[in-house]
Chain A
Amino acid sequence: MSQAETGWIPVALARDVEPSSSMGTQIHGQEIVVWRDSAGQSHVWEDRCPHRGMRLSFGFVRGNHIACLYHGWEFDTAGQCRKIPAHPELEVPKAIKTVRYASAEAAGMVWVHEAPAEGALPPGLPAAEPVRSLYLDCPAARLVAALREGDGKVRVTGDEGQLLTLDFCGAKLLGGVQPLTEDQCALHLALPAPGADPQAIVDWSEALRRRLEVAPVPDTSAAALAEAVA
């Protein structure tokens, strides 16, 4: 989406993934679980228990383990299965592991790297106060195009991969763009410094969504119809 593809995608505002909780989301149609252990560390994995394929985001976080809703299989922060309640005596085979992704927190957001590999988030992202995550029924490309076009309140002043730097009525605002599916995306908004009214940002974001979710209307102007007839 920009000059500098980094492979890093924001998947939530860090604040919204509370300790000992999990949430399900998607990147490019792939289901992932974002969870935070009781010590405060966040993790991003494929949203599948290796046992029966149940979504781990439906499960429960217990200490530094996440447990599947179906049969209670527990996985440690390395993705290694540590407990199978139906077989308490069993030493769990090392091969039972989840698929983990490299993840990090910056700019008030949780980030995941697209490839299941180790990696480090590009340095230099500022700390930021969360405002809200806006979920839209429109492709990420349409969202980004609309932001670049500007709308009187907001314009894009910079970008690095999926992170847009916005000017909101004179204040700096960060917008992390998450492509969920072909037709859905999220915009994670955070303020790197005080100066803008967060409630005004929420109002603007609602109007933006209403505008973007309207399906493109065919051109029925007199000129277009005349052209079609001719």
Chain B
Amino acid sequence: MSLRLYDFELDENAYKVRLLLAFLGLDYAKVAMDVFPGTEHKADAFLKLSPVGELPALVDGEVVLFQSEAILAYLARRYDGSGLWLPEGPAALGAVTQWLAFAAHELRAATTARRGALFGVPIDEAATRAAVRAAFRILETHLVMQGLAGRSWLVGDAPTIADIAVFPAFALSRDFGIDHGEYPALRRWLRALRDLPGFIPMPGVPGYH
């Protein structure tokens, strides 16, 4: 097999890629990185693949990519013959990209909060919490609106890589003490995503409910 994913089991961004690979039913080699305590992701060899020093990185023959959202887009375009995970139409493509950017920017606070809670990384807890809640509210309202229009996903009528990119931040929010009670639409969406064929869990995201 030619696909190689540089992975860390507890990394939510690597999980996004593992999720899509599972939904697409693709075989791949997993390179397990010693992130804690080894900081292998900051070592010379890995920085050549991912100069930002963050997981994941993907190698597929000549193609080398870092940033999970970019990897999702590549895998969908390259291997999803159905075109459902990354739709072609301009409006849908724009909307998917919008939520990919949202996952990378606004939901970065969730990654920060989780690293603070799980790995003791020093953070401004109040500001981080406020940023996470603001982002979750934006998602909640969007999914309420989608629901009123008879839709269950972030974009259109079917799941896309936008749903995958946003998923771990909410699914893992109990790791940093933000419960799901205030987000009923997100809760229903989380259950729907977990029910998709091929879904895989990660520590903190059970495979059943």
**A interface residues, Cβ below 8 angstroms from B:** 12-13, 16, 18, 20-21, 23-26, 57-58, 60, 131-133, 135, 186, 198-199, 202, 206
Contact = CB atoms under 8 A, between A and B. Distances in A.
B174 interface: yes
Contacts of B191: 18, 21
Contacts of B209: 20-21, 60
Contacts of B149: 199
B141 A12 contact: no
Contacts of A60: 206, 208-209
A23 B184 contact: yes
Contacts of B182: 135, 186
Interface in B171-209: 174, 179-182, 184-185, 187-188, 191, 206, 208-209
Interface of B: 141, 144-145, 148-149, 174, 179-182, 184-185, 187-188, 191, 206, 208-209
Main secondary structure of the interface of B (DSSP, over half): helix
Given A132-B144, A135-B182, A202-B141, 6 more contacts: A16-B187, A24-B181, A57-B181, A186-B182, A198-B148, A202-B145
Given A16-B187, A58-B174, A60-B208, A25 B148 contact: no
A23 B141 contact: no
A23 B145 CA distance: 21
Contacts of B185: 16, 132
A21 B192 CA distance: 12
A186 B181 CA distance: 11
Nearest to B183: A135
A18 B188 contact: yes
A45 B140 CA distance: 26
